[in-house]
């Protein structure tokens, strides 16, 4: 999910203190250099430490066989930092060949939304679609890959801090993810050298390029220390917001032209929007891009939000699927999120997952609004020059897949296509020469044909999924699995 834009009330940030809970002592500790994943106990955490990462350690335990999908081994744990931050994660082995399959890390967006949404609503080994617990998902992305789901940054999901620490920038969050990945691969040598992919959606379009750059730069230090680098192969960004400067103008097209569905606003409102658009673009460029002025940039962003984004809310449409009404705004327009919340608030579920006792009196929520407010107060979305990270990763041979459901409004295909076409990298000219063409699926599978449109050149691929909204694996699970399987295994579209 990506939050609706709001003008930040700094006093609201005080809400984050509801997540300041003292750190509990580890249940058990072992200082292994290497370890077998299958040897982990399920009744206590094993602590992973590495001399190269003195500020980070990892607690991990195997979950009981009845969790989620009994056919695969699963694990949960925490990434602990010397700064008293504790980041929760899930890990599921592949259903196919866990000993050889690639590794994927998934993060949801927000900023501030738990990756339990991705796990239990979209692409995980099980789904929750009612009040009767989990059901095995036949279209899980772990069909042919091992996969992490990360609750990051702190304050999100089951992640927490000890003494009021906060993380409100993507660059700071990236350091914890890079260290965690290195510790995991170093400790469990069975994964060393495996192809590794960063994936996520929505604000993941900001997160993932920065996380990828942090892992790439960290590899230089790993090699210098005589350690094996992380074999980072690609980024998969679903309905992401990577270039806000190009996303904002797309809101006019999505509301006032048949770019996705028939126009949803009246003509008078569309004329007002189009009149405001040049001022919005000029103000953003001068105050946020050419040089960054916090006050002026914040005012520019507020102006653009008011005139180009707020009108959709008045229509009652779902910003994550413009073809439908929003069923329940308190549930992110998807009532199923309430079932996920109830499941993760159940004491038995928390015991099964090994959730820290420090969170015993803290209610789980799908998205932490205080974390989102903190990122917005820092203008993280627009000050980070995120497209530059993508360009540098592409120039270093890291493949990038930008996939977008055509019915999403908030991180839509128009803005994402404008973003990929504007990237400056060694393959930019060839990529821009490509035309969108239909992509279809393997004959006989339960997938619509064509499934969407695609253009690709060099290491960059832009792909749409027809009829999907913001959460592609939720709306089009079979198409999403087909897409990720081809991508990870080097197939073409």
Cα 187 to Cα 477: distance, rounded to the nearest angstrom: 33
Cα 356 to Cα 177: distance, rounded to the nearest angstrom: 20
The answer to whether the CB of 448 falls within 8 A of the CB of 104 is: no
Count how many Cα atoms sit within 13 Å of the Cα of residue 382 in the half-sphere of its side chain.
Answer: 30
Name the band, by pLDDT with cuts 50, 70 and 90, for residue 18.
very low
At 311 the pLDDT is: 94
pTM of the shown model: 0.91
Question: And the tokens for 221?
Answer: 């230090």
User: What residues are annotated to the active site?
Assistant: 202, 408, 470
pLDDT digits (tens, 9 = 90+) for 109-134: 999 999 999 999 999 999 999 989 99
Cα 177 to Cα 212: distance, rounded to the nearest angstrom: 10
Give the chain's domains with CATH numbers.
10-244+380-488 (3.40.50.1820), 246-316 (1.10.287.410)
Cα 51 to Cα 179: distance, rounded to the nearest angstrom: 12
The answer to whether the CB of 393 falls within 8 A of the CB of 234 is: no
Name the band, by pLDDT with cuts 50, 70 and 90, for residue 446.
low
Cα 197 to Cα 217: distance, rounded to the nearest angstrom: 16
Where residue 357 falls (left for φ over 0; alpha for ψ -120 to 50; beta otherwise) is alpha
Query: Between vectors from CA 63 to CA 89 and to CA 471, what angle results, nearest 5°?
Result: 45
pLDDT digits (tens, 9 = 90+) for 386-437: 999 999 999 999 999 999 999 999 999 999 999 999 999 999 999 999 999 9
Among candidate residues 367, 324, 300, 465, the one with its CA nearest the CA of residue 121: 367
pLDDT at 166 over 80: yes
Please state the rounded mean pLDDT for residues 280-300: 93
Please state the rounded mean pLDDT for residues 187-204: 94
């Amino acid at each position: 999910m990506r939050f609706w834009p709001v003008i930040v009330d700094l006093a609201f940030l005080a809400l984050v203190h509801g997540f300041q809970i003292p750190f509990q002592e580890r249940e058990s500790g072992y200082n292994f250099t290497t370890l077998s994943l299958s040897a982990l106990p399920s009744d206590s955490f094993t602590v992973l430490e590495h001399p190269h990462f003195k500020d980070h350690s990892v607690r991990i335990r195997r979950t009981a066989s009845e969790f989620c999908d009994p056919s695969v081994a699963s694990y949960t744990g925490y990434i602990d930092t010397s700064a008293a931050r504790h980041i929760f994660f899930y890990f599921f082995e592949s259903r196919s060949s866990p000993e050889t399959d690639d590794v994927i890390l998934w993060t949801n967006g927000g900023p501030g939304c738990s990756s339990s949404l991705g796990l239990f609503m979209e692409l995980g080994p099980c789904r929750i679609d009612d009040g009767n617990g989990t059901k095995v998902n036949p279209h899980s992305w772990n069909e042919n890959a091992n996969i992490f789901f990360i609750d990051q940054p702190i304050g999100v999901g089951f992640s927490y801090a000890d003494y009021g620490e906060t993380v409100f920038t993507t660059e700071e969050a990236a350091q914890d993810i890079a260290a965690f990945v290195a510790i995991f691969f170093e400790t469990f040598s069975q994964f060393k050298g495996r192809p590794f992919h960063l994936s996520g959606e929505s604000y993941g379009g900001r997160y993932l390029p920065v996380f990828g750059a942090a892992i790439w730069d960290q590899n230089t230090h790993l090699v210098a220390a005589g350690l094996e680098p992380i074999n980072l192969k690609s980024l998969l960004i679903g309905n992401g917001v990577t270039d806000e400067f190009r996303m904002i103008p797309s809101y006019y097209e999505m509301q006032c032209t048949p770019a996705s569905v028939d126009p949803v606003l009246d003509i008078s409102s569309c004329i007002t929007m189009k009149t405001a658009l040049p001022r919005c673009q000029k103000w953003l460029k001068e105050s946020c891009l050419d040089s960054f002025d916090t006050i002026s940039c914040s005012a520019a962003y507020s102006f653009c939000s008011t005139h180009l984004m707020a009108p959709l809310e008045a229509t009652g449409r779902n910003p994550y699927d413009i073809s439908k009404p929003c069923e329940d705004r308190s549930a992110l327009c998807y009532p199923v999120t309430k079932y996920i919340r109830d499941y993760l608030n159940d004491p038995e579920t928390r015991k099964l997952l090994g959730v820290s006792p420090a969170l015993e009196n803290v209610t789980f929520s799908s998205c932490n609004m205080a974390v989102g407010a903190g990122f917005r107060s820092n203008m993280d979305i627009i000050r980070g020059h995120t497209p530059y990270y993508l360009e540098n990763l592409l120039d270093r041979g890291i493949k990038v897949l930008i996939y977008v459901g055509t019915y999403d409004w908030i991180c839509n295909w128009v803005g994402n296509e404008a973003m990929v076409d504007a990237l400056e990298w060694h393959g930019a000219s060839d990529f821009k020469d490509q035309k969108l063409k239909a992509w279809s699926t393997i004959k006989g599978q339960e997938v619509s044909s064509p499934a969407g449109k695609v253009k690709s050149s060099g290491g960059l691929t832009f792909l749409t999924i027809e009829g999907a909204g913001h959460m592609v694996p939720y709306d089009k699970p079979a198409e999403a699995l087909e897409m990720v399987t081809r991508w990870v295994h080097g197939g073409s579209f």
